[in-house]
Amino acid sequence: MTAADRDSLGSAVFVLSRPSGTVIADGVGRRFDDARDAAQALRDGTVRAVVGALPFDLDDTAALMSASTLTRSDQPWHGVRGRPRRVSAMTSHPDPDEHRERVGRAVAEIASGRLEKVVLARSVDLGVEPEVDVGELIGALAQGNSESNAFAVELGALRDTPLALRSSGIGETPELRSSGIGETPDDGGAAPGSAWLLGASPESLVRKHGRVVTCQPYAGSAPRSADTVADRAAADALMTSTKDLSEHAFVVDHLRDRLGPLCSELDAPTTPELRSTGEIWHLATPIRGVLRDESLTALDLALLLTPTPAVGGTPSITAAQFIREFEGCRGLYGGAVGWCDDQGDGEWMVTIRCLELSADRRHLRTWAGGGIVAQSDPQAEVDETTAKLRTVFNALGLEHA
């Protein structure tokens, strides 16, 4: 039995579920390793839609493709509870002790004035049983948050990833209406030997419709509690936390600086709102602008804004150097995942709360990070990443991992 036989999404190569609805792409017309080439192909009209994932470092390999059909629904993906699984192998990169040490090093760099903020992440490699069905996992990811956020991107044949990720396939979709966007697919669907990127990001990097552009950055967070009193106290403390408010302001300032010259109007509130997922309280700021030039596409804007300080840091170049020194190449984690059509409309999410799934459907890598500023406490940062990892663990039925 092949991976395609085991999965439940048919020929789909991309899914993005949001509160506003679901977008699904079927069949691969053309693949792009360079995100800038994909953006140019959209501008030239040589492709009519692009879907997939941008890397954290835009000079690294992208996972973008045109699709034979782009379909949309005004309903988010139907959430389902994931089946219970057991862990057959587990390795952390780095372990919690080393992560605490890295956070201390970052705080020292900030105290020296070289950095203002840097996001440090750790990853976990897992072996799980029984094997994962991609369509089922999308449903479990959507079920784990109130907004039904979930995504899946087929990564292409034999993609060079942190794991030897090789696989194929994807399942049952909600009833959708076709947009009529067409390309001749090169393989009719998910490629043999391909990996999958899946996740439940709550953070909208950029959404464009006509001239209107919106963003909703998340930065500053606190673990949720099953105890309602403790949970409310954690939320209240987050809203007044100097450390988290400072971390959040770096991200809003970045988006304001990048979008301001492009917009005739830009509304970016100075006080964030409180949002939550199943596992985490977040500070969030809804940003809305009106573009001067409607020809700018959602993909153009995603390339302009990636990575934000929510996943990188500031100054951006120095933070990126620090991250590469201590983490190595992040690949797609911390980049953006989304879609853009031939009108330039689309939406891109920050690639967090995610995993890469291998061909055998029994091995995966997942990540979690946190923003380090001058007031950061190393143990609290370890606890934050542990809480964020639960998004994927819970969707996989690994609640006690």
| Catalytic-residue membership of 388 | no
Tokens 């760099």 — which residue?
109
Give the active site residue among 117, 208, 327, 384: 117
Tell me if the bond preceding 94 is cis, omega within 30° of 0.
yes
Tokens 């500070």 — which residue?
283
The DSSP string of 51-116 is EEEE-SSTTS--EEEEEEEEEEESSPPPP-PPPP-EEEEEEEES-HHHHHHHHHHHHHHHHTTS-S
**Cα–Cα distance for residue pair 365/28, rounded to 1 Å:** 25
CA–chain centroid gap for 146, Å, is: 17
Give the active site residue among 136, 154, 183, 203: 203
**Cα–Cα distance for residue pair 268/255, rounded to 1 Å:** 9
Q: Nearest to residue 197, comparing CAs of 64, 69, 82, 94? A: 64
Answer for the pair 57, 320: CB distance below 8 angstroms, yes or no: yes
Tokens 């963003």 — which residue?
215
- Count CA atoms closer than 13 A to 160's CA, side-chain side: 5
The set of catalytic residues is: 117, 203
